[in-house]
Amino acid sequence: MKNFDPIWNDIYKRGEQLNKYPYSSIVSFIFSKVKPIKKDGSKTEVLEIGCGAGNNLWFAAREGFAVTGLDASEVCLDFARKRFADEGLQGKFDLGDFTNLPYSDEQFDIAFERSALNQTPKSAARKAVAEILRVLKPGAMFYAEISSNRGTVKGTKNSDGCLINVEGPYSGYGQVCFYSREEIEKLFDGLLKIKSLDHTETSTQLPSPNEVLAHWSVLAIK
């Protein structure tokens, strides 16, 4: 299995998932944990893995944070770079693999991802968490939103824990991994300490059939 499903290049090329505005959960996480300017006068360094179109980092840059995003799709990164340039915002967007982050040890003050770890095989996700551990400063926090197996899960399971040929609410997005609570704990065990773990479910009532989207919200600390 590839760490990155190239279907995402096609999705972005079609102009889909090029989101403009940040997700409220990411805004809440950043604002509740850090300030844009640290006590020494330097900017707080924020990292997003699987940054996509840079919509979450767009808000952070506007608030004064120093932002860095990494994604495996050059298409979405070009979109993010152009938007930042057009609006006069500063940000760094790198093409790369979650399992081998191109950053120095203890470089970032805070990091997050939203539905990126569950788009890569589970063995690669574990390596990605280890890399996040490496690039975070001591005491820094990491927030993740990871698809749950308590939602509607339909597809063919491969050898590394992902589903392919996915049907239902997750169809059209290539390989997707769904996690149980035990698998979430195993993903972080021995690396980052989980401080809180929440589970969210949304049930669609119309149109039929009824389906459930579910995810874990993980707050972890180095």
Question: In the prediction, which pLDDT does 1 show?
Answer: 56
Neighbouring C-beta atoms of residue 10, cutoff 10 Å: 13
Best CA proximity match to 73, nearest among 52, 58, 92, 101 = 52
Structural domain of residue 127, as residue ranges?
7-221
Q: Give the pLDDT confidence of 97-153 residue by residue, as tens digits.
A: 999 999 999 999 999 999 999 999 999 999 999 999 999 999 999 999 999 999 988
SS3 label, residue 42 = coil
Instruction: Give me the CATH number covering residue 176.
Output: 3.40.50.150
Spatial CB neighbours of 209, under 8 Å, sequence gap ≥ 6: none
Q: Give me the helix-helix angle, 24-33 and 55-62, nearest 10°.
A: 40
Within a domain: residue 126? yes
Which residue spans within 19-161 are E strands per DSSP?
A: 45-49, 66-71, 92-95, 108-114, 136-147, 154-157
Best CA proximity match to 116, nearest among 76, 144, 154, 151 = 144
Model-wide pTM > 0.85:
yes
Within a domain: residue 168? yes
Structurally, the chain folds into a number of domains equal to: 1
Q: Give the pLDDT confidence of 6-44 residue by residue, as tens digits.
A: 899 999 999 999 999 999 999 999 999 999 999 999 999
